[in-house]
Structure 1
Amino acid sequence: MKDLFSTYEFKGMSLKNRIVMPPMCQYSVDKKDGAATDWHYLHYVSRAVGGAGFIMIEMTDVEPDGRISDFDLGLWSDEQIPALKRIVDACHSYGAKVGIQIAHAGRKAEDAEVPVAPSAIPFDENSKKPRALSTQEVKEMVEKFRGAVQRAVKAGMDAIELHGAHGYLIHQFHSPLTNRREDEYGKDLTQFGREIIQAAKAEMPEDMPLIMRISAKEYVEGGYGMAESIAFAKEYQAAGVDMFDISSGGEGPITAWGRPGTHAAYQVPLAREIRQALDVPVIAVGRLEDPVLANAVIGNEDADLVAVGRGMLRNPYWALEAAAMLKKETTVPTQYTTGF
């Protein structure tokens, strides 16, 4: 029977367990240059020492004005590769595999003088009004994603994740709430995402997994639900996505309509439905820090991998603690064996 500490083989990636550290912004870049710092090194490598099988580096943006804030990671320059490679190499030495989330914040880029978006619709009344990208600029944006993926491969990543969730740029294009365009990217809401997927795949080794994070459900009136997300996920799967990371929300201020639950595992049913509808591997995330619950998600085959965010922020050694609680075998660093 599969459990949280079962190994997992997918394409060219072999994981020692099914525990994922999900991408979580640290807002810790120095000098606003977009390069990883010593904080990022300590942050990620400590989770590798702590037993996580798969570490996903936080939202890393394709251009300076694509960041949520000026203190986010970027991968628009070759000069940003070495600091990331240092992190990847160290994580590998402790038995963890590493992915990176490539993104653009679109209208949610708080520090951009004028954010860009599919359409000139602000996030809320307190946000800057974005400028709608021209058709040519959309095509150029696809190439910026391509360049970032190419650099991520050079940094030694084991997988690439495209951020198509939480109201950021790819999500903005496939949501009818935020895409009111009249050109080809408005007539086909998945075209932007599909072109990015195809560009990414062209830069990746054949056996490297391409993951996409999607919001399976929007929590605002008029937003899309599971039927629509299954439909656009099928388009993305056909374009080359190998695995989906299932989250929800983020496209607008949450109102009473469709408000998400706050209970443990509230997003697991979304992951399970995508997994079954597309016959595709999925990562489940959201309030899964209880090891017994996380283990059940794998045992019940609701998802293939489980991402533990807040639990790992509190405890870099969450995976080691989970193994002890569940009485599962895992590799404990020699220096820490007396603690376990």
Structure 2
Amino acid sequence: MLYSPIKFRNLELKNRWVMSPMCMYSSNDGVATDFHYVHYGSRAQGGTGLLMVEATGVVPEGRITNKCMGLWNDEQGKALKKIVDFVHENSESKIGIQLAHAGRKASTWNGKQISLEEGWETVAPSKIPYSEEERIPHELSVAEIKKLVQDFQDAAKRALEAGFDLIEIHAAHGYLVHQFLSPLSNVRTDEYGGSFENRIRFLVEIVEAVNELLDGNHPLFVRISGTEYAENGWDIDESVKLAEVLKSKNVDLIDVSSGGNIQGSKITLFDGYQVPLSAEVRKETGIKTGAVGLIKSAKQAEEILQNNQADLIFVAREILRNPYLPVRGSFKNNDDCFFPHQYERARN
């Protein structure tokens, strides 16, 4: 099953392996560099069914750091097109991009907020900083929220022009969209706060705006935090409710991670620790899901799929350690997996 194809709209992935989006902190003014060309290209040579490009800011102030990727101008799109073209011409991998805004968790370096002189003013749904040591973020007006929805759509348009196969909206890990979802970081009293329907409104509007651009060949994924591990916070029950809504809005897959919004929350880590969240969303809604979180081997990935806990396997740290994880995992049972013809002498 791990090496079986799967379709989202008309887009077929050759296998269920996905390289999870991971920030590389190596861009210049949001522009991808030769490092990114090699980084993503090498994973494509490893047989990964889908490569997800790291969290990419839709505006300069949406980046986590000043070395993060961006897609608010054409120069950035041109650099990404070079990567996309290489992947398409030299592998069977598909490639997507995760569009993001860091909100109150922006303007940082090494996990700490940097000065206004080095960075920028952060924004959020409410005037609540991520930690007490940080500056109070600017509370977004309704007009500013509407502008950000447009910024997501504009970035998606550039992504399509660069040739990306799919788009993912980052609504997890305590970044801006997640900040709107959580009643702990969103205490607004207007149409973007309070009730569940109001707190999800920003995400729904982004989804609708991006889907206006997408056709049958370009699916839409959304990454969420299945829970934020905090009392009275965003949890798996609300994640299931959200997934129901997103399914009705033509979202093709929910990429289920967790945490990131509440400083000091306690998370117990173990191999596959987030898989039950993916399984719950999938079971309760019928939408396709991606599992992520300390998945380290083909055997573990296969078990997740066979147990109907996910449809795709998102791998992060293990694929940094081993770019050839998918193709090496295929050797044991002689599964069909892309292998560069230039490397054919190493197959056996």
Which TM bucket (shorter chain)?
over 0.9
Structure 2 CA distance for aligned equivalents of residues 204 and 50 of structure 1: 28
**In the alignment, is residue 233 of structure 1 matched against residue 282 of structure 2?**
no
- Counterpart AA for 1:297: I
| Deviation per residue, 1:224-251 (Å, 9 max, x gap) | 2211111122222223312100000001
How much has 1:165 moved relative to structure 2?
0.3
**In the alignment, is residue 108 of structure 1 matched against residue 101 of structure 2?**
no
**In the alignment, which of 223, 230, 237 is matched to residue 220 of structure 1?**
230
Output aligned runs, 1:322-333, within 5 Å.
322-333=329-340
**Corresponding residue number in structure 1 for 2:342:** 335
Does the 8 A contact of 1:219 with 1:254 survive in 2? no
How much has 1:110 moved relative to structure 2?
2.2
Output aligned runs, 1:54-65, within 5 Å.
54-65=50-61
Does the 8 A contact of 2:2 with 2:15 survive in 1? yes
**In the alignment, which of 14, 17, 20 is matched to residue 18 of structure 2?**
20
**Corresponding residue number in structure 2 for 1:74:** 70
**Corresponding residue number in structure 2 for 1:179:** 186
| Deviation per residue, 1:140-187 (Å, 9 max, x gap) | 111111100111111111110000000011111111011111111114
After superposition, the CA RMSD in angstroms is: 1.3
- Counterpart AA for 1:304: D
**In the alignment, is residue 158 of structure 1 matched against residue 165 of structure 2?**
yes
Output aligned runs, 1:274-285, within 5 Å.
274-285=281-292
**Corresponding residue number in structure 2 for 1:6:** 4
**In the alignment, is residue 96 of structure 1 matched against residue 93 of structure 2?**
yes
**In the alignment, which of 82, 85, 95 is matched to residue 86 of structure 1?**
82
Q: Secondary structure at the match of 1:95?
A: coil
In the alignment of these two chains, the number of paired residues is: 333
Output aligned runs, 1:129-278, within 5 Å.
129-187=136-194, 188-255=198-265, 259-278=266-285
Q: Secondary structure at the match of 2:153?
A: helix
**In the alignment, is residue 287 of structure 1 matched against residue 286 of structure 2?**
no
Structure 1 CA distance for aligned equivalents of residues 80 and 60 of structure 2: 17
How much has 1:326 moved relative to structure 2?
4.5
Q: TM-score, normalised by structure 1?
A: 0.95
How much has 1:26 moved relative to structure 2?
0.2
Q: Secondary structure at the match of 2:228?
A: coil
- Counterpart AA for 1:95: E
For structure 2, the residue ranges without an aligned partner over 5 or more in a row are 109-118
Range 230-239 or range 52-61, more displaced: 230-239
Q: TM-score, normalised by structure 2?
A: 0.93
Range 228-237 or range 309-318, more displaced: 228-237
How much has 1:321 moved relative to structure 2?
1.3
How much has 1:91 moved relative to structure 2?
0.8
| Deviation per residue, 1:29-58 (Å, 9 max, x gap) | 12xx11111011100010001110100000
For structure 1, the residue ranges without an aligned partner over 5 or more in a row are none
Does the 8 A contact of 2:165 with 2:217 survive in 1? no
Does the 8 A contact of 1:34 with 1:72 survive in 2? yes
Q: Secondary structure at the match of 2:199?
A: coil
Does the 8 A contact of 1:62 with 1:103 survive in 2? yes
How much has 1:128 moved relative to structure 2?
2.4
**In the alignment, is residue 123 of structure 1 matched against residue 130 of structure 2?**
yes
How much has 1:253 moved relative to structure 2?
1.3
Structure 2 CA distance for aligned equivalents of residues 285 and 87 of structure 1: 24
- Counterpart AA for 1:40: H
Does the 8 A contact of 2:46 with 2:338 survive in 1? no
- Counterpart AA for 2:100: A
| Deviation per residue, 1:229-278 (Å, 9 max, x gap) | 111222222233121000000011133xxx33211111111101101111
Deviating beyond 3 angstroms after TM superposition, the runs of 4 or more aligned structure 1 residues are none
Structure 1 CA distance for aligned equivalents of residues 338 and 100 of structure 2: 33
Structure 1 CA distance for aligned equivalents of residues 6 and 239 of structure 2: 26
Does the 8 A contact of 1:220 with 1:253 survive in 2? no
**In the alignment, is residue 37 of structure 1 matched against residue 33 of structure 2?**
yes
- Counterpart AA for 1:9: K
- Counterpart AA for 2:84: V
